[in-house]
Amino acid sequence: MSVKKDSALPSRFLPPPPPEDNVKRALNHYGDVRREDGKISRKTGRDVQFATIVTPEFKKWMKEEAKRRGKKQCVLLEDMRAAYLKVQAEKVR
């Protein structure tokens, strides 16, 4: 649905957003997500458990590296992903 011809709105304004553009999205778009149990999950949307089996050394490194940089481990992981993707992209090329 594009701009409606029969709109009574002055043409200098855009018409109201149509429902199909954003059904339900308006309700989980930004801010805290408060669940029915009243808990507030992460503002960042990082609320999924990520568990895997690693060596004790790796775990220790993750923990200390995150601490040293004053970051959460999830942020460090995301840094690592970004670095990985950069290297991979260069390799593909």
How far are the Cα atoms of 5, 30, 80 from residue 85, in angstroms, in the given order? Answer: 46, 26, 9
Which amino acid would we find at residue 52? T
Among 3, 11, 30, 89, binds another protein (CB under 8 A): 30
Contact 33, 47 (CB under 8 A): yes
Phi, psi of 40 (to 5 degrees): -100, 115
Q: Which stretch binds another protein (CB under 8 A): 27-35, 47-55, 65-73, 77-85?
A: 27-35
**Nearest to another protein of 40, 82 (CB atom):** 40
Alpha-carbon torsion (72, 32, 38, 20), positive or negative? negative
Is 29 a binder of another protein (CB under 8 A)?
Answer: yes
Least Å from the CB of residue 52 to another protein: 29
The 7-26 site mask, x for binding another protein (CB under 8 A), equals xxxx--xxxxxxx-xxxxxx
Which positions lie near another protein, rule CB under 8 A?
4, 7-10, 13-19, 21-38, 40
